[in-house]
Amino acid sequence: DVKVTQSSRYLVKRTGEKVFLECVQDMDHENMFWYRQDPGLGLRLIYFSYDVKMKEKGDIPEGYSVSREKKERFSLILESASTNQTSMYLCASSRQGMNYGYTFGSGTRLTVV
C-alpha cells in the first residue's frame, strides 16, 4: 500500500521550543505539501515543494520553515513554537499534473503548552 508517513501522531511541546515534523512518502511523488487543519478554518497551506531543495510559501508560512533534502522527505520546522500553533498538521504528496489527487498522511496533533 502506497502511503505518506508522518513521524508522530501526537506531540506536546513547550512554548519557545523548536519543533520538527517529519513526513516521508514512498510513491516517488514530485510534490509535497504541509497543511494545518483547524475547526472552522479548514485546510490551510503552510509550505509546498515541487522538487528536491525547492520550497514555496503557502498561505500561512509565518513562524514555519521547511526542508526537502531528499525527494521522499519533507520536514516542517516550527522555529519557536507558540500556543497559536496548536493544531492538526497534515502532510500530503502528489504527482505532477493537474488531475492527480493528493495522498495525505494520518496527521500530527501538535499541542503547544
Partner 1 sequence: GQSLEQPSEVTAVEGAIVQINCTYQTSGFYGLSWYQQHDGGAPTFLSYNALDGLEETGRFSSFLSRSDSYGYLLLQELQMKDSASYFCAVRYNAGNNRKLIWGLGTSLAVNP
Q: Note the residues at the interface with partner 1 (CB under 8 A).
A: 4, 40-43, 45, 56, 90, 92, 98-107
Min dist. Cβ of residue 96 to partner 1 (A): 10
**Residues, the chain:** 113
What are the φ/ψ torsions at residue 2 (nearest 5 degrees)?
-75, 150
**Closest CB to partner 1 among 20 and 100?**
100
* Nine cell digits for residue 89: 498538521
**Cβ 91 vs Cβ 24: under 8 Å:** no
Min dist. Cβ of residue 13 to partner 1 (A): 21
**Closest CB to partner 1 among 51 and 56?**
56
